[in-house]
A and B are shown apart, each in its own frame.
Chain A
């Protein structure tokens, strides 16, 4: 018995030595020699204050264990899959030394199936939560730890997430979720399901209050997928992340379809086919660095105005200043826009060329670049101020509106409206896409979403008609009639009910001289005048001056105040 206690105490001694070494080492390197006499001092104290030290020991032990997650072996396995650990991800996402962790000591509360054993308890459980800063701006983060029970969601896990979400709501700061979880903790049963529901509720409550971003960095299956789906933006990592309701095995047994994980719910599927994810990145590091960049565009909450950045460090050299001033000042002209719209109205051009040329530093963070490519949406800055940009893309399907592009556009417009981000719309739209596929798919109610979103938005809305604005699509695309604040037309603009050929076939049905009638129609309608004389566009501007005009308008509209009538909430045609 005595021998055992001696052994224990000596063991404790060694531990104590280790701890003190570590604590000293943290303060300053190279002070080891000083620690030796201290250790002997510890020893004398030790006999009288066992309990105090053992708590400290236990704290340190727990902290140590929490930092290790599921253990070195599992960390290596995670690395082998080309994935980073939960903590590495947080470190990379946030500014150095800015992460403040909460709930490091929370453990799961399951007592069934041997889960109560010490070896199955991991301090912090399968998620790392806390707050930190990205470029100095506050953000709350949770990062699921795949090394602990495959990142599965226990009651405790959910509770931790809920805690930071609640706090994020009260202080008004965004929440970023780094998802890497195998699903519900089956051992916990309904408690795990309750946990999901708690998170969903908070996602919904926070929606439109603080920006919520999900980055899927591993599997995310079953009920778990609804949390990312409820957030504002979902990003994925190529080849290592999956999102699906039911996996390939279940699919096979129910519908007898053979499908791989990647095909069913990989990054490519969700960014090109389903439109579930907004963007995908090559690997963890690129994803996290891009997320940092993306975060710069967002306000912290719906109470904050759009973010404005200082554009440049002042250039002290006056010669260089003169040489370059045209490049960054808001009133710089963009001569390349003068001939961007081709003469033939059937010829395509790239709307991204216009966007890149107009925005600050040619920097445009495109949302859903590979889904419904006939509409372009994304964030950019004008004179340092974040703006949301919506543009029809004439290069793809002539830039017409269809089901997918309407939904894509509508969701983006609503996000901008919720977070005070001004919307700039570039219009070149020949109309809605005809066909049975579209009609059966419900283009009417889906198209109505975009119309609804634009009409409802009270943020500054600036519209530039670059070429075609035909039919109902003209009304939809942030027209003057939907409370557009400033609507411009380029000289190439054609605002009409439809293109000349179709119109002539209807107006002059059965008559000869169609060509002549067509020419007359073109003369009358294929120009910006019909809209301009009625005041539906505020001005016809030279394309080169577009940036200058937008920057001036944004400055004026910064103080825009517009309130929709009181309602519990609107009833958007979902």
Chain B
């Protein structure tokens, strides 16, 4: 290909330039579970840079940085075009090298810019590539054809239909896409094929660079059994467990008894909490074995399982490592990822409140030892479990970029994607261990499309009818692959975005996170912001006293939303009442020459009744100027602010405190749904008369739910274990629903006879769909 490029570069006609583009160096990259192809050519680089410049001109800060880049590229191009064409064929990293001194100087500016007001989407890899002057190609499934990464990339290739096995896991299609576009490198993102050794092998066979570690390292670390052995050999602390594949459920029970309960059953090829189950007794071991092997088979195409001792009350702390192909490796400090549900991370922070410099160094050094032991290159993560005595045990090594990598970037100032691309091209690390600082504190919340009230989050689907990221706030970064109007489908992980805030101290970062969550507008799908906001404001979290059992310990009866205290409740009711009055006043403002009362009733005092749940409260409101004074229960609440009925955001000043409320809906019958302190509250505001008369209105009976089984989430029916006429015992499995790669067993609430079955295996069901009726 290089030769072709050289040949064509000797000609000068327009066609040849096109030819040249086609044959020029290409990289193949994917990110955020999505593949991107990268291409480079100097002519194009100029265009890209100019484009970037135009696009980002809005943002003054970035402009500085990009302008510098453009200068560099112009220099390169001028010299290239004028002098030797062969130079134009310089490698990706050559350019990066040329730019690098400038870039590192720009780095501060750039980072500032990312925290402020970049309006473009946040597909990090493409952004980094653009910054480095590399062209990108995105791969996507048919349902993702209008996704953000597809729009951002220079080229896009569809690799199949929605199910992952037919698109993002379809190696043949992806290899074809690489061939067609002539990409020279692949960035696998995280998830899907990012830790697939087969894929890395096939790429190597085609001579395409894999932006990630070698096949050898993926293989060694991808297999949990082998990785444990290697870790042991490299003198890394490991958890006691069974070093081998468990074949049957009975064998699993036997081993579990040997190690002693509790035990963890997990997929050998797994990651991300999929195919992972904790068992406290023999029965749970059998069940866990069955589900884990099924999940492992469907997620990774490999149903091998292993068992190890489960450490109670642990913290999940991981070390980011970065290694090059020359045997150098660094540890880039830790990330605390203890807040998890169903073994999937929800809130992460860097650094950890728990580690002291000594432990940090010890963990970092062991992580580097391990990386060196497998001749690791690229970015990777070594996960540890840390017990309350600061003993740490190696858990596994993720040979890919992780979802939570931005917080490490925040506190260290490194661009990990850029480093990965550099390493893949064979360059030495730019930094030494001493260069790696801990600057400030960064928190990441994973915003999921899921219902936090159902076991801390069951997937929900829908169309984002309104979507507004809190990018107007300072030092807030949002990495998302979606935009207003996007569909959250049942086919992929329900993550909406990663919300990252940064501050000089932890308190500052947490405060920003609160603001960011309050300002985040998501409509059309149920999301977990209520839960996230509760976690980051919970006293236990704020004090840093956390473990991986945080959620079940803090919310033993399940998450119930924010519990209002008297003051907060008054604020909420007052805000709702003021919103109601604002709407009433607006309704009376007819603009055109309609016949209205010649003496309009100038009302400035109202008596209302506000209902929240079962509770009813009489309130009195008076308005003077733009300030509303609301009297509830003898206490006065002053409310003022922009009561814009069209806006989902409701910035109010309540008793002198700024509060960002959100109004989700308002109906004619006085029903108002407000998001206050993260949680949704259904309030009903009625005039005093209507409230009095409302007592005559009959309560309408609701449906008896004990005898019907409805789908708790959208998904696919995997198995139906009953048929009409069967008698089921309480707790017996009725059917299994798979959603977002998780299998959920639905059980009977009471002993009953099955009346009718409304679903069959393989069927797609929506949330609330009737599955089975009992008698």
CA distance A79 to B698 in the complex (A): 9
**B624 contacts the other chain (CB 8 A):** no
* Given contacts A84-B696, A324-B642, A324-B647, A136 and B668 within 8 Å (CB-CB): no
Shortest C-beta distance, A238 to chain B (Å), equals: 8
CA distance A137 to B690 in the complex (A): 20
Shortest C-beta distance, A547 to chain B (Å), equals: 12
Count of chain A residues with a beta carbon within 8 Å of a chain B beta carbon: 64
**Contact call B146/A339, Cβ cutoff below 8 A:** yes
Name the residue on A nearest B596 (C-beta).
A136
Contacts of A312 in B (CB 8 A): 586, 644-646
**B152 contacts the other chain (CB 8 A):** no
Selected from A95, A310, A384, the residue in CB contact (under 8 A) with B601 is A95
Name the residue on B nearest A312 (C-beta).
B644
Selected from A296, A340, A350, the residue in CB contact (under 8 A) with B485 is A340
CA distance A239 to B697 in the complex (A): 11
CA distance A339 to B144 in the complex (A): 11
Scan A66-100; emit 1 where CB is below 8 A from any B CB, else 0.
00000000000001001110001001100110100
**B145 contacts the other chain (CB 8 A):** yes
Most chain A Cβ neighbours within 10 Å, of B464, B472, B589, B686: B589
**A304 contacts the other chain (CB 8 A):** yes
Shortest C-beta distance, A130 to chain B (Å), equals: 15
* Given contacts A136-B597, A289-B668, A309-B590, A336 and B644 within 8 Å (CB-CB): no
Selected from A300, A304, A310, the residue in CB contact (under 8 A) with B591 is A310
Name the residue on B nearest A356 (C-beta).
B465
**Contact call B590/A307, Cβ cutoff below 8 A:** yes
Contacts of A327 in B (CB 8 A): 644, 646-648
CA distance A442 to B26 in the complex (A): 64
Shortest C-beta distance, B102 to chain A (Å), equals: 34
Selected from A173, A285, A293, the residue in CB contact (under 8 A) with B693 is A285
Total A-B contacts with CB atoms under 8 angstroms apart = 142
**Contact call B600/A316, Cβ cutoff below 8 A:** no
**B358 contacts the other chain (CB 8 A):** no
**A62 contacts the other chain (CB 8 A):** no
**Contact call B587/A317, Cβ cutoff below 8 A:** no
Contacts of B669 in A (CB 8 A): 281-282, 285-286, 289-290
**B466 contacts the other chain (CB 8 A):** yes
CA distance A306 to B257 in the complex (A): 78
**Contact call A308/B649, Cβ cutoff below 8 A:** no
* Given contacts A289-B669, A293-B668, A339-B485, A299 and B594 within 8 Å (CB-CB): yes
* Given contacts A92-B689, A92-B690, A335-B485, A135 and B642 within 8 Å (CB-CB): no
Name the residue on A nearest B146 (C-beta).
A339
**A284 contacts the other chain (CB 8 A):** yes
Name the residue on B nearest A136 (C-beta).
B596
**B328 contacts the other chain (CB 8 A):** no
**Contact call B645/A361, Cβ cutoff below 8 A:** yes
Shortest C-beta distance, B768 to chain A (Å), equals: 17
**Contact call A309/B485, Cβ cutoff below 8 A:** no
* Given contacts A79-B696, A283-B698, A300 and B594 within 8 Å (CB-CB): yes
Shortest C-beta distance, A500 to chain B (Å), equals: 19
Most chain A Cβ neighbours within 10 Å, of B466, B472, B697: B697
**Contact call A285/B690, Cβ cutoff below 8 A:** yes
**A116 contacts the other chain (CB 8 A):** no
List residues of A (123-137) whose CB comes within 8 Å of B's CBs: 133, 135-137
Scan A342-367; emit 1 where CB is below 8 A from any B CB, else 0.
01000000100100110011100000
Interface residues of chain B, those whose CB is within 8 Å of chain A, are 142, 145-146, 463-467, 472, 483-486, 582, 585-592, 594-597, 600-601, 626, 642-649, 651, 668-670, 686-687, 689-690, 693-694, 696-698, 700
Q: A95-B601, A138-B596 are in contact. List 8 more A-B contacts (CB 8 A).
A: A136-B601, A304-B595, A307-B592, A310-B589, A316-B626, A324-B642, A336-B467, A361-B645
Q: Which 8 A-B pairs have the closest CB atoms?
A: A336-B485, A293-B668, A82-B698, A310-B589, A336-B484, A328-B646, A286-B669, A308-B591
Interface residues of chain A, those whose CB is within 8 Å of chain B, are 79, 82-84, 88, 91-92, 95-96, 98, 133, 135-138, 173, 239, 281-286, 289-290, 292-294, 296, 299-300, 304-313, 315-317, 320, 323-324, 327-328, 335-340, 343, 350, 353, 356-357, 360-362, 384
